[in-house]
Structure 1
Amino acid sequence: MPQMPALTAVLFGLRGCLLQTSGETPLPMPGALDALNGLRRQHVPCAWLEERDATQAQRLALPDWLPGHASSASPWPAPDACWQALMGLGVERLEGCVLVSGEPRLLQAGLNAGLWTVGLAACTPQCGLPLNEWRAMTRQEQDCVRGKATLTLFELGVHSVIDHFEALDNCLDDIAQRRHKGEKP
């Protein structure tokens, strides 16, 4: 049996995933640029998804080489945006395609599209508090909020849940191993 590639493509949510949503100037989420650059070095096509058109400032906060796709006709959780973004990347098959987001409706769109899904617990609406509010919480309160977000994502049916981008490499390696063993999303 020939060795299948580890990943075919990776799609990311834009706001609240690749980009922080608090503040006027969009900034990349901690670890997001490292994750994107690591995937680029591995020649894994990537793109971002947004339900509405992204602003110029948001586009400038990300690398020039990273294409994006704003959903048009069908709102999430319809799978169309995922498929259109993959077609825009020139991806010929769904096998090995992954969606990373904290937005439950986008993750549901990825599941509906037949993609592997990775939920970012710290980027979910439950955890997407302004930084000053998050920092004002005790460690125990943060863990409780993050734990509830993780359970919500798993209840949705996502394949993996991580807290932050720093854990993405290991998560994608795990998905590659699961694929190698014949598991499908």
Structure 2
Amino acid sequence: MPNKLEAVIFDWAGTIVDFGSFAPTQIFVDAFAQAYGFALSLEEARRPMGLGKWQHIEALGQDPDVAARWTRQFGRAMSQEDVRHLYDTFIPLQVERVGAHSGLVPGALAVVQALRVQGFKIGSTTGYPRQVMEKLMVLASEKGYAPDCTVCADDLAAGARPGPWMALACVQNLQIGSVAHCVKVDDTVPGIAEGINAGMWTVGLALSGSPAGLTLAEYEQADEATLQAVRDRVAPLFVAAGAHFVIDTVADLPAVLRTIEQRLASGQRP
């Protein structure tokens, strides 16, 4: 097959919608408070971002800071029954509130529209379960964004990130000829690992996602020194995870795709 890109596979929150990825992180804080009266900070809630939500709660239970406070408060470690109760509390809250954080990241729609004109297929993967995505996909479609396929964290028996399975399901659904002809774009380290493990080119987003933690207003009002400080903090996380490129937001993707196509034409692979 010709050495040409065929598809871009996007994450959702923090990548295409919900600048700063605030919907899931704030609701983790609220779910812990509602279910157990436990004080989880927003910074702690962000640490496992990119995982499936069940795995995210498990990871929080193993976080040294969270685990220590949990043990002090309850006299025991977090159990699978606790994880289930937290998950069952989280999901209705997420479904209820996901619409409040469904706005598209600036530039995202224009990039996707340009990709379609160029013949790209558009895939997507997410740490959200299907129940949440059923609502979010409708809201995003009303704003003009409707990828060719969406694979959710609870769709596959094999599991979700950081494994390759959701990204590879997109390859199958989109009928892509080679994983080397795919680009995975994500704002989290597990999402980058997903793309790496699937054999794809990967692009990390330094300013629009969960690690940056900026609201859209904060991003738009920040001076260059402030934004550079965030880049300096976040970009190394993606580089360490193996990201081939790190950019500010999805609006900066076209130039990277041109570079990748040049590399493919010269025989390079991810």
> TM-score scaled by structure 2?
0.62
1:13 aligned residue = 11
Q: Is the 8 A contact 1:78 1:112 kept in 2?
A: yes
Secondary structure of residue in 1 paired with 2:177: coil
CA distance in 2, matches of 1:6, 1:68: 23
Instruction: Mark the runs of 5 or more structure 2 residues left unpaired by the alignment.
Output: 24-99
Greater helix share, 1 or 2? 2
2:177 aligned residue = 92
1:67 aligns with 2:149: yes
CA distance in 1, matches of 2:117, 2:221: 38
What displacement does 1:142 show? 2.5
Describe the superposition over 1:77-110 as per-residue Cα deviations: whole angstroms up to 9, x where unpaired: 0101110111111223212111011111011011
1:162 aligned residue = 247
Q: Is the 8 A contact 1:103 1:123 kept in 2?
A: no
1:140 aligns with 2:225: yes
1:116 aligns with 2:192: no
What displacement does 1:16 show? 1.0
Secondary structure of residue in 1 paired with 2:207: helix
Question: What percentage of residue pairs aligned between the two structures are identical?
Answer: 27
Runs of 4+ in structure 1 deviating by more than 6 angstroms, as ranges, are none
The letter for the 2-side match of 1:70 is: C
Q: Which moved more, 1:71-80 or 1:96-105?
A: 71-80
Q: Which moved more, 1:138-147 or 1:92-101?
A: 138-147
Greater strand share, 1 or 2? 1
Query: How many residue pairs are counted as aligned between the two chains?
Result: 183
Instruction: Mark the runs of 5 or more structure 1 residues left unpaired by the alignment.
Output: none
1:29 aligned residue = 105
Secondary structure of residue in 1 paired with 2:246: strand
CA distance in 1, matches of 2:3, 2:113: 18
CA distance in 2, matches of 1:97, 1:146: 25
Q: Is the 8 A contact 1:48 1:68 kept in 2?
A: yes
CA RMSD of aligned residues (A): 2.1
Secondary structure of residue in 2 paired with 1:141: helix
Q: Is the 8 A contact 2:15 2:249 kept in 1?
A: no
Secondary structure of residue in 2 paired with 1:47: strand
CA distance in 1, matches of 2:245, 2:205: 9
Select the structure of larger CA radius of gyration: 2
Describe the superposition over 1:24-73 as per-residue Cα deviations: whole angstroms up to 9, x where unpaired: 14011111111111111111111111122214234431434543111323
Secondary structure of residue in 1 paired with 2:180: coil
CA distance in 1, matches of 2:11, 2:237: 18
CA distance in 2, matches of 1:45, 1:25: 25
The letter for the 1-side match of 2:265 is: H
